[in-house]
């Protein structure tokens, strides 16, 4: 079964590890075989991975698009997850779901779950900032 992709002008997509950037006009094309695909909206670059949960997302993304280095990414992933669970224990349920997907080689679905981690992290940070007393925010 083919996958139809529509790209906006200047939009990027990763197909099988190759970064493809569209020209100035919209385009539609079909991918005829099974290959990892990530649209620009689902890509977090190393530079954008500026929080612990975004780093976890980024390493799962690398597992998905760069299969030859899986063992290295698993090691990094486990180190990041251990740190996250230590500082944010309520992430354990989401981490367990992500782990099951990774074990089943369902990296794209694991990325979707990892977005929930990023949301949780943002909620915790926003709550902390909101509840911080005014005297704590001055230097």
Q: Is the same domain home to 59 and 119? A: yes
Q: Is the same domain home to 12 and 72? A: no
- Does residue 74 lie in a domain region? yes
Q: Is the same domain home to 63 and 20? A: no
Q: Is the same domain home to 70 and 108? A: yes
Cα separation values, 59 from 16, 28, 73, 129, 133, Å:
16, 29, 6, 27, 35
Cα separation values, 45 from 19, 41, 58, 76, 108, Å:
12, 11, 7, 16, 16
Predicted structure pTM score: 0.88
Q: Is the same domain home to 31 and 64? A: no
- Does residue 27 lie in a domain region? yes
Q: Is the same domain home to 56 and 104? A: yes
- Each residue of 36-89: pLDDT tens digit? 999 999 999 999 999 999 999 999 999 999 989 999 999 999 999 999 999 999
Helix and strand element counts for the chain (H, E): 5, 5
Q: Is the same domain home to 71 and 105? A: yes
- Each residue of 51-60: pLDDT tens digit? 999 999 999 9
Structurally, the chain folds into a number of domains equal to: 2
- E-strand stretches of the chain: 3-7, 12-15, 18-21, 27-31, 37-39
- Does residue 137 lie in a domain region? no
Full domain range(s) for residue 19: 3-41
């Amino acid at each position: 079964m083919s996958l139809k992709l529509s790209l906006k002008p200047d939009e990027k997509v990763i197909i099988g590890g190759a970064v493809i950037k569209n020209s100035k006009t919209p385009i539609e094309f079909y991918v005829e075989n099974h290959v990892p695909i990530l649209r620009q909206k689902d890509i977090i670059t190393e530079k954008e991975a500026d929080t612990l949960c975004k780093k976890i997302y980024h390493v799962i993304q690398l597992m998905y698009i760069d299969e030859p280095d899986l063992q290295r990414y698993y090691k990094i992933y486990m180190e990041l997850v251990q740190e996250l669970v230590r500082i944010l224990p309520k992430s354990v349920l989401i981490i367990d779901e992500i782990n099951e997907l990774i074990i089943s080689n369902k990296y794209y679905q694991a990325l979707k779950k990892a977005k929930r981690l990023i949301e949780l992290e943002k909620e915790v940070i926003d709550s902390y900032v909101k509840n911080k007393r005014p005297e704590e925010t001055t230097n």
